[in-house]
Amino acid sequence: MAKYRIAWMPGDGIGVDVMDAARIVLDAIALDAEYIPADIGWKFWCREGNPLPQRTLDVMKGTDCALFGAITSKGKDVADKELAPELRGKGYSYRSPIVAMRQLLDLYICLRPCKAYAGNPLNYRDGIDLVVFRENTEGMYIGVEFERVPEQFYAVKGMEKVPRDAALSLRAITPGGSERIVRAAFEYARQHGRKKVTAVHKGNVLRQTDGVFMAAARKVAAEYPDVAFDDANVDAMCMWLLKNPMNYDVIVTTNLFGDIVSDLCAQMVGGMGFGCSGNIGTSYAVFEPTHGSAPKYAGLYKVNPMATILAARMMLEWLGEKEKAAQIEGAVAAVIAEGKVRTYDLGGDNTTLEVAEAIAARLQ
Ligand code: IPM
Ligand code: MG
């Protein structure tokens, strides 16, 4: 029996292309693993009314972790139209399967390293090396939304209470959820010799919810006197990140702010072709590139597989295969530095699989 069982979830669009690339690298490094394919994505929503079927969760239960490609998510109006006619009107409602996995498996850490590899022509500045810790289970992602507002939010007109014409999304922040993500960020900082943790919020407006988040952040920070701590409003943070990216090290924030700030950080180190991500809980984790399924490039083997290969590297580190992880990191850095094999986003004309093969060649 193989040492590891890994759920293999290419998903939609270019998810397939980049996962094929990751597999070339994992095979080259001879990871002793069995890869178990699992269904996820848009076509399962259309056919079955569920983009994350129960059988997929069952596969995940029997594995150590998962590597995931990308999924197509569409707004409510389109989702309802693309559902199989026989399923319509039966109460099916689309929910992003990646968000569902994070919540169902309590993968509360979304870890997003953003590193400017030397020689990457897309680097915003050389030397950027940031890590974003995004809370992954609560905040604006709890899925509590109202098409119409409940009675408490009715407007009062004269003697009458009248419905407001509005939809409503709720943001939930708990002390426990905040504490565990901030603690994860500080532990990471300590273990990786990082100097500073910055908590990002919008406490001047979201007084209650970010009050809870920042109280937890300050409490945890006091337990780590060896790591510097500061905080910033999310809008100012975006500005300062662009102005002085070198001033930041580990960023910790709530779910939606982390979604936004991590895209900004990814863009500073080459864009979505380099954005890798780990959704990590206490005993299970799902690794993925942060990019989407880019339907127009699907199957063309044109897109940059670096993000997925770097996600596979994160997976190896999480599994405890530190040496193999370091080898992949070295091979990726060398291929970027050499600059001979590049996908179109980097100005080259190599295919997705050629990039993977160039990395694999350095591992043998
Ligand atoms: C991400 C993505 C997801 C998110 C989408 C696909 C639901 O943008 O992983 O950052 O919003 O979390
Ligand atoms: Mg995102």
- Residue 120: inside a domain: no
The count of domains in the chain is: 3
Q: 70 and 291 in contact (C-beta within 8 Å)?
A: yes
β-sheet with 129-135: strand ranges across: 33-37, 4-11, 65-70, 285-289, 276-280, 109-115, 129-135, 250-253, 196-201, 228-233
Which tokens go with 324?
A: 């193999």
Q: For residue 322, what are the β-bridge partners?
A: none
Report pLDDT digits (tens) over 19-64. Answer: 999 999 999 999 999 999 999 999 999 999 999 999 999 999 999 9
Residue-averaged pLDDT of the chain: 96
Q: 166 and 190 share a domain?
A: no
Pocket of ligand 1 (CB under 6 A): 73, 96, 98-99, 259, 290
- Residue 207: inside a domain: yes
- Residue-number span of the structural domain to which 231 is assigned: 129-137+173-268
Q: What is the number of the ligand closest to the CA of 293? A: 1
Ligand 1 atom closest to residue 255's alpha carbon, by position in its atom list: 12
Pick the catalytic residue from 58, 126, 235, 349: 235
Report pLDDT digits (tens) over 97-135. Answer: 999 999 999 999 999 999 999 999 999 999 999 999 999
Q: 160 and 285 share a domain?
A: no
Report pLDDT digits (tens) over 149-166. Answer: 878 778 888 888 888 788
Ligand 1 pocket mutation, candidates 96, 101, 112, 276, criterion most atoms within 8 A of CB: 96
Q: 27 and 82 share a domain?
A: yes
- Residue 118: inside a domain: no
Report the alpha-carbon distance of residue 86 to residue 41 in Å, rounded.
19
Report pLDDT digits (tens) over 220-257. Answer: 999 999 999 999 999 999 999 999 999 999 999 999 99
Phi, psi angle pair for 276, to nearest 5°: -110, 160
- Smallest CA separation from ligand 1 atom 1, residue: 290
- Smallest CA separation from ligand 1 atom 4, residue: 259
- Rounded to two decimals, what is the model's pTM? 0.95
- Residue 82: inside a domain: yes
Q: 178 and 160 share a domain?
A: no
Ligand 1 atom closest to residue 288's alpha carbon, by position in its atom list: 9
Report the alpha-carbon distance of residue 69 to residue 13 in Å, rounded.
9
Pick the catalytic residue from 35, 39, 202, 324: 202
Ligand 1 pocket mutation, candidates 9, 133, 259, criterion most atoms within 8 A of CB: 259
